[in-house]
Structure 1
Amino acid sequence: MKRITIIFIIIAGFISHYGCESVLDKTPDGQITIDKVLSNYSRSKGLIDETYGQIYLARDQISFVHNPIECLTDNAFWAATYDAYEWHNGSLSLSNPVIKWSWHTNPEQLWPDFWRGVRFANNAIKYLPLSTVITAQERDTWVAEARILRCWFYMNLLEFYGPMPWIEEPFDANYNEWNNLQRPIYDEIATKISEELMDVIKSGILPNRQTPSEARHVDNGVAYAIRARVLLNNASLLNNPEKDKSKWQRAADAAKDVVNMSEYSLVAMNDYKKLFTGAFSTTVSEIIWRSWSDNSHINNTNGIDVGTYPYATINHVWNCGESPTQELVDCFEMTNGALPVAYNDATRTKITVNPAAAGLGYSEAPGGDPYSSRDARFYVNILYNMADYGVPYNCTEPFIVETFVGGRNAFNNIISQETQRSCTGYYSRKDKQIKYWGPGNSSGNEPTHWVFFRLAEFYLNRAEALCELGDLDGAMSMLNVIRERALQPKIEDVPGFQKSYDFLMGRIRNERRVEFCLEGWRFHDQRRWKILNETNRFITGMRITKDDEGKFHYERRKIRDYNSYTDKYLVMPIPLEDAKKLASITQPTAWQ
């Protein structure tokens, strides 16, 4: 009888923390055999449960502990010499993946974790049909879920490491043909994922949307969403240098499949905050799938220091963490649809105010106000000078943000240390809540959940794909759905509108940056568009001082130069030790 331990099922991956060889190690004697797994209900169910257990559930646990991946983009800055510093310092190499947890015995992140997810999914798909203690419905349901989860892990591999061989079987402990595995072309693996997901959807086994009690589990909505995102990536310039229109048509159609699902609808702007905070058991019409783990700690690791509250004694934040950049702030339109400024020089510190923005009061002159009359999403996402953050738990007075020099949340000039004060002049607000903080360590906040997929993405996916296909009217229609939800004017009504590919694509990309800022997806957008050379050379912030008359003075300031803009940063390399064993899976072009 073939022996396979529960440890092998639960822990082993295609490529493990210790490379290929440990995956091939024979399981030790005296452990639980596969027949005992399949004859026990809890252990059989554990095959699918452990596959779910490989999913990253916190957006600040990917690039480094408490360091959101948004900080590896031009949207946010993280002070201190940890992974984000190394990343932007140009330290990524074959021997240094940068994205790691250095104090672990094996610090590697992402690569082994995604492959482990594939391995667990394959175990579930292979062995669940052999279980003697689960019902036929449970068998069919869990296998269908495992097939979707396998595509989820492959989607992550694609986004970070490029196309990888499609593996459908758990590797036998004696497998020794690693060198024969070859890297497929992106379209091949994207097509395979699309076909796999459509096969699950058409089987009718899973519902289009899970009930609240089963919301952790994937469904047809998640399958459609993974497919649409993968096909958008497949059509994008990084993976489609020949600009094949048929790929854009597939992406447009896949996005339409999601948009047309009657089970989902956009939330009103008044409920926008509910996309990111609230009990997991509460259904939110726009959310297709989100983390089931409460991420409320992000208030303490990536938020503003409410410990400076003058009316009660409140604990100080551990770290302000992700600090929005001035570049991100500049992407938020005025309420009339005008972008606030144009850059006058390569440093982005000299600007011309858009006359249509000045007409609504935008001014960086002494005594001016650059933060009024902005897109409603600005006030959900960003904390800025003199913003009213609300009232802390068990308190009566609001917390007013003071980012000016000398203020309670004053601009910080030191970028090489962990800090409670922002180095950009802004703080993140999107999934944060003032009620997390209260006197005596009290709190009254709702849970925070990282959103994996929400309906808004697929309106903008379809807008982008239709624009690439030359259907500008269709693209505008999709874009306007998101703009109107945000209470912004239709794109054809914004100042300076031009019905051209260049104008519309620029605003679609800007809309995407605003809508999904601080959610983690900018990292992948920058790469699939191949714009790192334009966006990741440096970032700026806003240093504000206050004169004796109480007037604020605004100074745009470069925060740091970046070296994370070369082609080597477009697709991450296979870690060196595993690359040696997987000799036929070539490194990305820039790493060869």
Structure 2
Amino acid sequence: MNKFIFFSLLLVSELFVTSCNDDLDLKSDGSITMAEVFTDRNRTRGYLNGCYGFLPSPYLEAGSFTDDAEDSDDITPGSRYDYWYNGGVNATNFASYILDGSPWGNYYQGIRRCNVFIANIDEATAYVTDAEKIGWKAQAYVLRAFYYLELFKRYGQVPLVLESRSADYDYAQDKKASIGEIVTQILSDCDTALATAESEDFPWRMMSNQWNMMTRAVAYAIKSQAITFAVSPLFDDGTFTIEQAVQITGDALSQCLNHGYTLFTTTDDYHNAYAYYFLYNPNDLGATDKETIYGGTQVSAWSDAGLPTTEGMTKAGPCPTQDLVDAYEMANGLAPILGYDDVDHLKPIINPNSGYDENNPYEGRDPRFYATIYYNGALRKLDGSSDQKIETFEGGTEGISTTSKMYTRTGYYMHKYAHFNSNRYSNSDGYMRIFRLPELYYNFAETAYQVYGPDKQIDLGNGISLSACDAINVVRARVGMPRFESGMSADEFQKKYRNERRIEYAMEILRYFDVRRWKILSETERFVTGMRIVRKEDGSLSYQRFRFNDRASYEDRYLFYPLDVTEVDKMERLTGDDWQNLGW
């Protein structure tokens, strides 16, 4: 009886899941059958719309789960960061202490809805043109690929469910698919969609009444990320070669470039192009923002990652670490810090050729540093006219604290996404994206150098030829950073490339998955450092690095999310296999 009830609930969830547009939603009173759904145009569109109801959102606090940041809420007993850093997380409570809860069931509900739509739309008797059916079905294929991408990034091997299931389906026959099988299906779904003709129902770019729909560019972005992850150390099971990955990532990049996607280069009176991009609303139909491929969630940085001098702020949130600050190159392209003379990273090895000054550490850095981090002495505009000088030294107006979540824990605050006009009365803060064009450049570079080295020109098709270095240099040119020099070895390029990717995507969710797929958690997540600044009586400043306690989250079990315990118990009863991920 319990099994029947469980499967019945699954079927109901396939039929009546709340979506993001109430006008197109199905009624949840059980008064219509599935056959009736596809006899009515609005119900058919409503069902497709419901398939979108499980999409992930970008997370403002993503950096706090990486070495990019130490969250100010770590001092609050029982907070997610107290648990995450200090080892209180287990398979039972994991969903309460990670940003997106336990998305396993959420994504599978989305997949089930896509399966139903794909299975029924061709024979739908609703007033829907053949062109609309093709476009809508293409959206469902890409959306299903998206959900599987998000699943395997988090959980690794997961079961492939590609058909609509009835209440009496025998779940005992389910098994976890290999990474190769999952990524093959993701690529296939995207290719099936892309084989259809471009139309307003499956365009290259979202239209004004189609915000957050799947597009052709999203399909290519999914392919690019999926194959890059698939050939990474954590996921590589031998299914795909690096050569195949180069072809797929190169094609995705060239296709998007040839259909109007380009880096955002607009500036304003107060921001360089990189800084302004994260403040700009991407819902402009590509008029100015031609970089965003998918997503555009406005955040409230003033409140959740704010400065204590901003009225109404609730916490300092993700405080950038000294480790992240050290990763930013000088404006001349040289690394200021070559490594550390001690295991605690308190004695940096200064690059004597870089121009870095330990007594003036924030001068002459990569422009992305100033767009991302508030540091001691940084200027914050007030009402667009006057300046506020940030004071993170001990006793300063934004000084470091070990007892209040309203103040920085590391000596730094997040600047990215924060608009100087934002406060409790008016939010002018920026937007987080899920896919943006630089990732396609980086994915190509990451796969290409492993096969051809950093400098070999590769024909991407569509009249575009790039080397791995060229691809990186396009992104660096946006902020005026010097080019990667030719002649690097593969190892030299990898080190510089991974650092570059970290800087471009600082405080974004991509870093969380990158350090896992590269299997470098023990190098990056074991502990982080901060900077304590003391102002002396003569007004001069002394800079003192300090180390936080070890984090539990560097352990290998954190490479993947654990499956929900109830799901593990259910599948063990049905299949006899333990589905839980290693270490949980």
Q: TM-score by structure 2 length? A: 0.86
Match of 1:21 in 2: none
- Unmatched 5+ residue regions in structure 1? 14-26, 61-67, 308-314
Letter matched to residue 376 of structure 1: P
Question: Which of 561, 581, 589 lines up with 2:570 in the alignment?
Answer: 581
Secondary structure in 2 matching 1:545 = strand
Match of 2:475 in 1: 482
Match of 2:349 in 1: 352
Letter matched to residue 430 of structure 1: K
Match of 2:583 in 1: 591
CA distance in 2 between counterparts of 1:132 and 1:506 reads 56
Deviations 1:465-497 (A, max 9, x none): 11222422132222222222231111218xxxx
Q: Does 1:128 align with 2:134?
A: no
CA RMSD of aligned residues (A): 2.7
CA distance in 2 between counterparts of 1:223 and 1:564 reads 32
Letter matched to residue 84 of structure 2: W
> How many Å apart are 1:215 and its aligned residue?
4.4
> How many Å apart are 1:41 and its aligned residue?
3.2
> How many Å apart are 1:234 and its aligned residue?
0.3
Match of 1:565 in 2: 554
CA distance in 1 between counterparts of 2:51 and 2:14 reads 13
Match of 1:17 in 2: none
Secondary structure in 2 matching 1:11 = coil
CA distance in 2 between counterparts of 1:115 and 1:5 reads 12
> How many Å apart are 1:131 and its aligned residue?
4.7
Match of 1:34 in 2: 34
Question: Which of 293, 296, 300 lines up with 1:297 in the alignment?
Answer: 300
Deviations 1:410-437 (A, max 9, x none): 00123xx6x1111011111111111112
Secondary structure in 1 matching 2:93 = coil
Match of 1:24 in 2: none
Check conservation: 2:18, 2:53, Cα contact below 8 A: no
Change beyond 3 A, Cα 1:179–1:91: farther
> How many Å apart are 1:534 and its aligned residue?
1.0
> How many Å apart are 1:58 and its aligned residue?
4.1
Letter matched to residue 120 of structure 1: R
Q: Does 1:387 align with 2:395?
A: no
Check conservation: 2:367, 2:479, Cα contact below 8 A: yes
Question: Which of 517, 523, 532 lines up with 2:521 in the alignment?
Answer: 532
Change beyond 3 A, Cα 1:405–1:108: closer
CA distance in 1 between counterparts of 2:9 and 2:469 reads 59
CA distance in 2 between counterparts of 1:32 and 1:221 reads 35
CA distance in 1 between counterparts of 2:427 and 2:98 reads 32
> How many Å apart are 1:407 and its aligned residue?
0.8
Change beyond 3 A, Cα 1:11–1:250: same
Letter matched to residue 88 of structure 1: Y
Match of 1:404 in 2: 393
Question: Which of 219, 228, 234 lines up with 1:232 in the alignment?
Answer: 228
Give identity over the alignment, percent. Answer: 29
Secondary structure in 1 matching 2:435 = strand
Letter matched to residue 340 of structure 1: P
Change beyond 3 A, Cα 1:220–1:8: closer
Residue range with higher mean Cα deviation, 464-473 or 221-230: 464-473
Letter matched to residue 72 of structure 1: F
Secondary structure in 1 matching 2:94 = coil
Match of 1:10 in 2: 16
Q: What is the correspondence of 1:440-451 to structure 2 with a 5 Å cutoff?
A: 441-443=424-426, 445=428, 448-451=430-433
CA distance in 2 between counterparts of 1:127 and 1:41 reads 13
CA distance in 2 between counterparts of 1:541 and 1:101 reads 23
Change beyond 3 A, Cα 1:179–1:591: farther
Check conservation: 2:183, 2:227, Cα contact below 8 A: yes
CA distance in 2 between counterparts of 1:588 and 1:503 reads 37
Q: Which runs of 4+ in 1 moved over 4 A?
A: 2-8, 27-30, 98-102
Q: Does 1:433 align with 2:425?
A: no
Change beyond 3 A, Cα 1:444–1:174: closer
CA distance in 2 between counterparts of 1:222 and 1:398 reads 40
Question: Which of 269, 272, 275 lines up with 2:277 in the alignment?
Answer: 275
Letter matched to residue 339 of structure 1: A
> How many Å apart are 1:577 and its aligned residue?
1.4
> How many Å apart are 1:194 and its aligned residue?
0.7
Check conservation: 1:58, 1:450, Cα contact below 8 A: yes
CA distance in 2 between counterparts of 1:302 and 1:489 reads 31
Q: Does 1:59 align with 2:28?
A: no
> How many Å apart are 1:133 and its aligned residue?
3.4
Secondary structure in 2 matching 1:556 = strand
Letter matched to residue 463 of structure 1: A
